[in-house]
Structure 1
């Protein structure tokens, strides 16, 4: 197991049994993928192996769930961080597994109280996403204008000027678009956690959408139906579509989600964060903050300003 050297070849029978009991519950009561269940099992095995290794002297002391206290889990967290040198994401995944495990154990009356509740996760520094440059945006637009249908042109224009997620684009219906003489909006009904919001449309979007809607067949269920089936365009198909134009524009290292990031970065230059969060459908300003944090390249430019060479 990663970062862990054991003095024994295997876990105690008690340790194996509790892992099997917990795994059996996940398989029968939770709608989880087999890969997720394997990760739960591996994380719990890692903790129990560490616990039994910590307790061991000349005699093996088998794992007993009631012997685990809050300071035990805090020490495990510190060992993973300081001695095993694991990444915060890995540490937090294992802590979340333990929280799920001890919550189950308390519900089964295997323990009187959950020792994992007070344990905090390790802070993870949010890094700013890759920024699409003005030149890259222009190249992408040129590629779709020269090679794409009016539907594809409208999709990419809308994503760049509204910051909608791929799922939100795919779920739009013609009735979700409201265009007036000097304003417009698109109603997003499938945001994260089913939150509905209204996103304003600038003149670029309004002109493009009016042109597109004029040729969209009447009675179309979706704003951007699949050209093959006429049904809902899937997120996978949308990502593939955008990658096609990325390749035509000779752009590398960018994805469909980077169109949303491009919108966020451009808007953050002049838009108050609370308004941008509302437009983008963020639950927390911490998420919106990634668009105002300096990138590593930005920081490099700043320190180069005082270089002697």
Structure 2
């Protein structure tokens, strides 16, 4: 793509600042430079300007940027993720220009990103869940088995599992609950425990060291199990079960999908600690695979 010398110079200054002030990978820096060259090339092109104009940062206005966004969306037909990445690069570029006093006002501030359609996360199947649980039963400790069962039956986030204390668990004859004391955005909530969870936790807590500060302490240090260590534990059994393309967070998604079949949306949002019902809706929306299966039903072949 053709870019004027003046355009090349201003891009180089921006990239130089990022290189010196931030710990960014060469690939990331290259993407920033590429996004800016795309914009400058478009700005200086005959299709955009009636006459040959050399790029000057002070000549860029908000309407210019919204027009560029529309070109990417309607003419180039780029994916929303690509458009938004380029817009975010431009927003960062103009923030830098303000700091360097090249311009007084940021033309990119009012420019909105392109809405992206939320695609539902991949669903763990019944067979995959059974394989994962079997892998932990045959190869894991009681602690690890309890962690898996708890995550599959409560939908807790990894951080929330690591933060649990024995005092957060309350188990009765026919009911039980746990308290998430500091969930996302430090919100506290109560999560009900079904009979499977209660039975597993009772067995596990009976063998837990008295006075343990954490429900699932690190086996090495006895202190809080880190989220990284927890994800490593889950991945261990994922590999043993020969499951691919799944992570610790997919245990939470599994809970969401299974519960969404019969649970009212507002109740599921409360259990999972969602601020918005829009987030909970991902478990109701069909996945791409579901949609593909539906259209295949009317195929002539």
TM-score, normalised via structure 1 length: 0.83
Shift of 1:43: 3.4
Indicate whether 1:116 and 2:108 are aligned. yes
Shift of 1:224: 1.2
Q: Hey, what's the Cα distance between the residues in 2 that align with 1:215 and 1:86?
A: 56
Unaligned runs of 5+ in 2: none
Q: Hey, what's the Cα distance between the residues in 2 that align with 1:184 and 1:98?
A: 51
Indicate whether 1:171 and 2:129 are aligned. no
Return closer, same or farther for 1:174/1:250 CA change in 2, 3 Å cut-off: same
Deviations 1:155-182 (A, max 9, x none): 0001101111222222222233233343
Deviations 1:250-280 (A, max 9, x none): 3233222211111000010111112212221
Indicate whether 1:92 and 2:84 are aligned. yes
Tell me which moved more, 228-237 or 122-131: 228-237
Kindly indicate whether the alpha-carbon contact (under 8 Å) linking 2:218 and 2:225 is maintained by their aligned counterparts in 1.
yes
SS in 2 for 1:199: strand
Indicate whether 1:150 and 2:153 are aligned. no
Indicate whether 1:128 and 2:127 are aligned. no
Return closer, same or farther for 1:197/1:19 CA change in 2, 3 Å cut-off: farther
Kindly indicate whether the alpha-carbon contact (under 8 Å) linking 2:15 and 2:32 is maintained by their aligned counterparts in 1.
no
Partner residue of 2:61 out of 69, 74, 85: 69
Q: How many residues align?
A: 298
Partner residue of 1:267 out of 238, 255, 259: 259
Shift of 1:151: 0.2
**Corresponding residue of 2:229:** 237
Kindly indicate whether the alpha-carbon contact (under 8 Å) linking 1:88 and 1:123 is maintained by their aligned counterparts in 2.
yes
Indicate whether 1:203 and 2:188 are aligned. no
Partner residue of 2:42 out of 50, 57, 68: 50
Partner residue of 1:34 out of 7, 12, 24: 24
Deviations 1:104-128 (A, max 9, x none): 5457764454322332211211112
Structure 1 segment 284-295 matched on structure 2, within 5 A: 284-295=276-287
Return closer, same or farther for 1:51/1:156 CA change in 2, 3 Å cut-off: same
SS in 2 for 1:78: helix
TM-score, normalised via structure 2 length: 0.85
Tell me which moved more, 46-55 or 131-140: 46-55
Unaligned runs of 5+ in 1: 1-5
- The root-mean-square deviation of aligned C-alpha atoms, in Å, is 2.9
Return closer, same or farther for 1:300/1:14 CA change in 2, 3 Å cut-off: closer
